[in-house]
Amino acid sequence: DIQLTQSPSSLSASVGDRVTITCRASQSIEKYLNWYQQKPGRAPNVLIYAASTLQGGVPSRFSGSGSGTEFNLTISSLQSADFATYYCQQSYNMFPWTFGQGTKVEIK
């Protein structure tokens, strides 16, 4: 199985901060990497797919980069609505798909 490791596991930030979350894969997954946001008590919501493509309706302050084994999710200017847990997920051309362990973004 392909393992995904996110860092950090949690972070504290202020509104307006630039935030970057990293996801590392145990082997190359090319660009088959997706990012989800999950708020407490809610289902996840896709933000980015194919490593860097913004899903429709997602604010442009979110961006994704990377390929191979290292990927980043960046929030350019953190808003109050962005305090949540973020997960990466790989959908490489083999199963099983896997998720990272999550990164919780909290208010400083």
Partner 1 sequence: QITLKESGPTLLKPTQTLTLTCDFSGFSLSTRGEGMGWVRQPPGKALEWLALIFWDDDTRYSPSLRTRLTVTKDTAKNQVVLTMTNMGPVDTATYYCAHRRGHYDSSGFYFYSFFDLWGPGTLVAVSS
State which residue, 34 or 78, has the beta carbon closest to partner 1. Answer: 34
Stretch that binds partner 1, among 16-24, 49-57, 60-68, 74-82 (CB under 8 A): 49-57
Residue 27 in the binding site for partner 1 (CB under 8 A): no
Where does residue 93 rank: exposed (0-12), middle (13-18), buried (19+ CB within 10 A)? exposed
What is 50-93 written as a DSSP string? TTTEEPTT--TTEEEEEETTEEEEEESS--GGG-SEEEEEE--S
Binding residue (CB under 8 A) for partner 1 from 25, 32, 37, 75: 32
Of 85, 102, 94, the C-alpha closest to 4 is 102
State which residue, 69 or 101, has the beta carbon closest to partner 1. Answer: 101
Binding residue (CB under 8 A) for partner 1 from 25, 66, 75, 100: 100
Buried b (16+ CB within 10 A) or exposed e, 60-74: eebbbebeebebbbe
Binding residue (CB under 8 A) for partner 1 from 49, 62, 71, 86: 49
Q: Which residues bind partner 1 (CB under 8 A)?
A: 1, 30-32, 34, 36, 38, 42-46, 49-50, 53, 55, 87, 89, 91, 95-102
